[in-house]
Amino acid sequence: MDLWFTEKHSPNMGITLRIKRCILQQKTPYQQMDILESYEYGKILLLDGLIMFTERDEFVYHEMIVHVPLLIHPNPKNVLVIGGGDGGTVREILKHPEVERIDLVEIDEDVMNACMEYFPEVSQGLKDPKVRILIEDGIEFMAKGDNRYDIVIIDSTDPIGPAKGLFEPKFYQNVDHTLGQEGIMVTQSESPFQDPKLWSWIYKNISSVFEKAFSYLAFIPTYPAGFWSFTLASKVRHPTKDIRTEHALKLSSTTRYYNPKVHKSAFSLPNFLKSELTKPS
């Protein structure tokens, strides 16, 4: 059988991967979930037909969404993850021994269970005693504002459907209230090459709430254009001047993408992106 999965990044382009087998096809209460095994990128998790991660390149996404904020904060003890039910983000947070508690707020328990079963190398950390798993809507959880965190990581799907609220100013205000003075928020913020308007819209929303916002980049081959961004908000800490370099170097013995130079370099935006951020809306 010559089986191919094609993800269209727009109506006019996409990537295509040869598939060994379909492992799971399941409709959860929230979305369509599929797991495929590919020849080139290992097993793949898809939600609503879009690649969430592949075994071969998930390390880039998970290392960059976690280690950048955690190495800017002087002493991150309490970390909140919104989304991230696959566990990859938690796995990376657990590399920081100073973190005492991780709250993970995932709306779709079925995704988490499937990842525990089919992606043990990604989800391994979900059973760690530091991790508290809350199956609920991240937007509602933040609106309650019952807890205080040093770091909030928004590890969500694209800003369409139920996840859209995770990219809007009202949600960011609630994140702001939950963060301490040195607190840092980070969110995945889409492909600035594939959709610069969406990227600058996210940046604008974050900037409307937080004093300082910074976008940074990473190579993620199976995401649109292979060109991905994260956007970080901070009250006082600077993302390239306030790196805990000694910790970052030590951590680098456990990472495949992240190191302190990569951390700093990720914040250097090409000219065509810098001008996108300064365009009048």
Catalytic residues: 155
**Does residue 214 interact with its own copies by CB under 8 A?**
no
CA distance 219 to 222: 9
**Does residue 258 interact with its own copies by CB under 8 A?**
yes
CA distance 227 to 177: 31
**Does residue 66 interact with its own copies by CB under 8 A?**
no
Quick check: helix, strand or coil at residue 178? Answer: helix
Number of residues that bind its own copies (CB under 8 A): 42
**Does residue 270 interact with its own copies by CB under 8 A?**
yes
**Does residue 13 interact with its own copies by CB under 8 A?**
yes
**Does residue 39 interact with its own copies by CB under 8 A?**
yes
Contact 94, 88 (CB under 8 A): no
**Does residue 266 interact with its own copies by CB under 8 A?**
yes
CA distance 157 to 159: 7
Tell me the window of 101-109, 115-123, 172-180, 217-225 that interacts with its own copies (CB under 8 A). 217-225
Tell me the window of 42-50, 53-61, 83-91, 114-122 that interacts with its own copies (CB under 8 A). 53-61
Quick check: helix, strand or coil at residue 254? Answer: helix
Tell me the window of 9-17, 25-33, 83-91, 199-207 that interacts with its own copies (CB under 8 A). 9-17
Tell me the window of 38-46, 84-92, 155-163, 199-207 that interacts with its own copies (CB under 8 A). 38-46
Contact 192, 219 (CB under 8 A): no
Residue type, 95: K
| Nearest approach, Cβ of residue 145 and its own copies (Å) | 37
**Does residue 30 interact with its own copies by CB under 8 A?**
no
Question: Which of 15, 143 has the CB closer to its own copies?
Answer: 15
| Nearest approach, Cβ of residue 225 and its own copies (Å) | 4
**Does residue 221 interact with its own copies by CB under 8 A?**
yes
Rounded to 5 degrees, what are φ and ψ at 169?
A: -55, -35
Helices (H) and strands (E) in the chain, counts: 10, 12
Judged by CB under 8 A, the residue of 116, 134, 269, 277 near its own copies is 269
**Does residue 230 interact with its own copies by CB under 8 A?**
no
DSSP classification of residue 125: G
CA distance 229 to 186: 11
Structure tokens at 96: 């920081």
> Tokens 């797991």 appear where?
35
Judged by CB under 8 A, the residue of 121, 147, 208, 219 near its own copies is 219
**Does residue 60 interact with its own copies by CB under 8 A?**
yes
Torsion of CA 256, 242, 153, 169, to 10 degrees: -140
